[in-house]
C-alpha cells in the first residue's frame, strides 16, 4: 500500500516537474532570443533555439547629456546675417589734375560717397573725396562743428562740386545756451534751421556748386516722420543759397509709400537696399543713392549732356522765389518715349504723299465707280456673272440711238 501511495504521488509530481523544466527552457530561450541579433522568428526556433550572444560589459559612466542649443544674443544674430559685400570694382588710377567731388555729412553720406566711387570707378579724371564724419550732425556741435569746419575742408580739397547728406544723427534734443530743446519743438526747429543755413552759406560762399541730398526713410515710422521734417528744412536752406536739392525718398519706399527693405536697383532688379537695422544701406542701396545724384552731378561737371548754363539747361538764380525742383526719374510713356510730344519712333522716316496735279477747277459732285459684274460689291439678283463676263461692264444705251429707235417705231 505504501509503495502504491508513493507511485501515485510520483505520478502527480511528474507533470509539475515537466512544467517547471519547460518554463526554464522557455525562459532561457527567451533570454537568448532577446540577446541575439534581430532575426525574424521562424518555426525552426522551436527545435533549434538561437544561441545566446555574449553580453558586452556595461559602461559604468552615465551617458553624456545632449547639450541644449543656446539662444543667440542680438549681437550674434546680427553677425550671423549675410554681410553686405561690396562688389569688386576696378577703380582706375586718378590723374593728378582730376577734378574732386567733395562729399560731407554723416554715415549715410559716407555710403553715398561709396556709391559715387563705384559710379566713377572708370573715370580717371574724377576723384571722390569722402570727408564725412559718421557721428556728426548739426545738433552736437561739441562733437563736430560743421559750420565752423567746412571752410577748412573746402580749402584743403578744392572741390569742383560739393555734395551734402546729413541728418541721420540729429534725432535728439539740442542744447541751446543753458537750456535743452526737445526734438522738433519750435525752439529746436529755429536753431536747427539757423545752423543748417550757416553751414550752407559758408559752403556756397566759397564759390563751389552745392548739391544737397535729402535723407531716406527709416524702418521706424517715427524716425521716418522726423526725417521728413528735416528734409523740408534742407529743401528751404538749399533754395536760399541757390543750391540743388535731390529727393531720394521715393526710391526707398514701396508702392504704398511705406519703408521697404528691398526695392529696384539701378538695373530694375529687386534687391535688398537696406540692412537689418532699417537704417544703413547695402552696396546696392549706396549705388542707388549715387544714381539719384548722377545726372545732376554730371551736369555740374560738364560730363553728361549740356553743362550748366548751356542751351536747354536752366540755371537756378541766387535766391529763387520757390524751392528748386527735385531730381526724379520721370516715367517713360510707351507712345512717347522721348517725352517730347512726338508720335513717331526714333529713326522713323516721314513719307509724304505725292501732290495731286491741280486742274484749275474743284469738283463738288461725287460719282460712284462703275459696277463690275462678279465683284464683291455686285449685289444684282439674279447674279449676272453666268451670262456676262466679269471683266467687262454692262453696256449703257446711247440716248441718241434710243431717240432714233423711238422715232422709227413711231
Indicate the pLDDT class of residue 119, thresholds 50, 70 and 90: very high
Beta 174-176 vs 179-181: how paired, if at all? Answer: antiparallel
Q: What is the pLDDT of residues 266-278, one digit of tens each?
A: 999 999 999 999 9
Amino acid 394: pLDDT: 52
Amino acid 317: pLDDT: 36
Q: From CA 16, how far away is CA 267, in angstroms rounded?
A: 95
Amino acid 365: pLDDT: 56
Specify the length of the chain in residues.
410
pLDDT above 50: residue 323: no
Q: What is the pLDDT of residues 296-312, one digit of tens each?
A: 999 999 876 443 333 33
Q: From CA 122, how far away is CA 116, in angstroms rounded?
A: 11
Q: From CA 203, how far away is CA 209, in angstroms rounded?
A: 9
Amino acid 358: pLDDT: 52
Amino acid 408: pLDDT: 42
Taking only Cα atoms into account, the Rg of the chain, rounded to an integer number of angstroms, comes to 48
Contact 119/266 with Cβ under 8 angstroms? no
pLDDT above 70: residue 314: no
Indicate the pLDDT class of residue 20, thresholds 50, 70 and 90: low
Which grid cell is 185? 519743438
Amino acid 381: pLDDT: 79
Give a three-class secondary structure readout of the chain. CHHHHHHHHHHHHHHHHHHHHHHHHHHHHHHHHHHCCCCCCCCHHHHCCCCCCCCCCCCCCCCCCCCCCCCCCHHHHHHHCCCCCCCCCCCCCCCCCCEEEEEEECHHHHHHHHHHHHHCCCCCCEEEEECCCCCCCCCCCCCCCHHHHHHHHHHHHCCCEEEEECCCCCCCCEEECCEEECCCCHHHHHHHHHHHHHHHHHHHCCCCCEEEECCCCCCCHHHHHHHHHHHHHHHHHHHHCCCEEECCHHHHECCCCCECCEEECCCCCEEECECCCCCCECHHHHHHHHHHHHHHHHHHHCCCCCCCCCCCCCCCCCCCCCCCCCCCCCCCCCCCCCCCCCCCCCCCCCCCCCCCCCCCCCCCCCCCCCCCCCCCCCCCCCCCCCCCCCCCCCCCCCHHHHHHHHHHHC
Beta 244-246 vs 210-213: how paired, if at all? Answer: parallel
Instruction: Give Cβ neighbours of residue 201 (< 8 Å, ≥ 6 apart).
Output: 241
Indicate the pLDDT class of residue 356, thresholds 50, 70 and 90: low
Q: From CA 308, how far away is CA 137, in angstroms rounded?
A: 30
The pTM of the full predicted model, rounded to 2 decimals, is: 0.57
Which grid cell is 213? 541730398
Q: What is the pLDDT of residues 240-268, one digit of tens each?
A: 999 999 999 999 999 999 999 999 999 99
Q: From CA 107, how far away is CA 86, in angstroms rounded?
A: 16
Other Cβ atoms closer than 10 A to 296: 20
Cα–Cα nearest to 203, from 161, 249, 254, 143: 161
Q: From CA 195, how far away is CA 188, in angstroms rounded?
A: 11
Indicate the pLDDT class of residue 165, thresholds 50, 70 and 90: very high
Strand partners for 262? 272
Mean pLDDT estimate for the chain: 76
Q: Per-residue pLDDT averaged across 53-60, rounded?
A: 55
Cα–Cα nearest to 192, from 149, 150, 147: 147
Q: Find the range with the poorest average confidence among 114-128, 256-270, 332-346, 362-376.
A: 332-346
Q: Find the range with the poorest average confidence among 281-290, 307-316, 379-388.
A: 307-316
pLDDT above 50: residue 178: yes
Indicate the pLDDT class of residue 101, thresholds 50, 70 and 90: very high
Indicate the pLDDT class of residue 108, thresholds 50, 70 and 90: very high
Q: From CA 339, how far away is CA 372, in angstroms rounded?
A: 50
Delineate the domains of the chain, giving CATH numbers in brackets. 2-47 (no CATH), 84-301 (3.40.50.1110)
Amino acid at each position: 500500500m505504501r509503495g502504491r501511495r508513493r507511485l501515485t504521488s510520483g505520478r502527480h509530481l511528474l507533470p509539475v516537474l515537466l512544467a517547471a523544466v519547460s518554463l526554464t527552457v522557455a525562459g532561457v530561450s527567451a533570454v537568448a532570443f532577446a540577446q541575439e541579433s534581430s532575426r525574424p522568428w521562424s518555426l525552426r526556433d522551436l527545435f533549434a533555439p538561437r544561441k545566446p550572444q555574449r553580453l558586452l560589459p556595461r559602461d559604468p559612466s552615465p551617458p553624456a547629456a545632449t547639450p541644449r542649443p543656446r539662444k543667440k544674443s542680438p549681437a550674434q544674430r546680427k553677425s550671423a546675417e549675410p554681410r553686405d559685400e561690396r562688389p569688386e570694382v576696378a577703380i582706375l588710377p586718378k590723374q593728378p589734375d582730376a577734378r574732386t567731388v567733395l562729399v560731407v555729412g554723416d554715415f549715410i553720406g559716407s555710403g553715398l560717397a561709396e556709391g559715387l566711387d563705384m559710379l566713377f570707378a572708370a573715370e580717371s579724371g574724377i576723384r571722390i573725396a569722402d570727408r564725412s564724419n559718421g557721428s556728426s550732425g548739426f545738433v552736437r556741435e561739441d562733437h563736430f562743428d560743421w559750420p565752423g569746419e567746412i571752410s577748412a575742408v573746402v580749402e584743403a580739397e578744392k572741390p569742383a562740386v560739393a555734395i551734402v547728406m546729413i541728418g541721420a544723427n540729429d534725432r535728439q534734443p539740442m542744447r541751446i545756451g543753458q537750456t535743452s530743446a526737445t526734438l522738433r519743438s519750435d525752439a529746436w526747429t529755429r536753431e536747427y534751421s539757423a545752423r543748417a543755413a550757416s553751414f550752407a552759406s559758408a559752403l556756397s560762399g566759397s564759390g563751389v556748386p552745392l548739391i544737397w541730398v535729402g535723407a531716406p526713410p527709416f524702418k521706424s515710422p517715427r524716425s521716418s516722420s522726423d526725417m521728413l521734417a528735416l528734409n523740408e528744412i534742407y529743401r528751404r536752406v538749399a533754395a536760399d543759397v541757390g543750391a540743388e536739392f535731390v529727393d531720394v525718398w521715393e526710391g526707398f519706399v514701396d508702392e504704398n509709400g511705406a519703408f521697404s527693405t528691398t526695392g529696384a536697383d539701378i538695373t530694375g532688379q529687386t534687391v535688398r537696399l537696406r540692412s537689418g537695422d532699417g537704417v544703413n544701406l547695402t552696396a546696392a542701396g549706396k549705388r542707388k543713392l549715387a544714381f539719384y545724384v548722377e545726372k545732376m552731378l554730371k551736369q555740374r561737371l560738364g560730363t553728361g549732356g549740356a553743362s550748366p548754363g548751356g542751351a536747354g539747361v536752366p540755371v537756378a538764380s541766387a535766391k529763387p522765389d520757390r524751392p528748386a525742383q527735385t531730381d526724379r526719374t520721370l516715367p517713360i510713356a510707351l507712345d512717347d518715349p522721348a517725352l517730347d510730344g512726338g508720335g513717331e519712333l526714333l529713326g522713323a522716316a516721314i513719307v509724304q504723299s505725292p501732290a495731286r496735279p491741280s486742274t484749275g477747277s474743284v469738283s463738288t459732285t461725287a460719282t460712284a465707280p462703275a459696277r463690275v459684274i462678279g465683284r464683291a460689291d455686285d449685289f444684282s439678283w439674279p447674279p449676272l456673272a453666268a451670262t456676262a463676263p466679269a471683266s467687262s461692264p454692262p453696256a449703257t444705251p446711247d440716248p441718241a440711238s434710243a431717240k432714233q429707235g423711238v422715232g422709227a417705231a413711231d
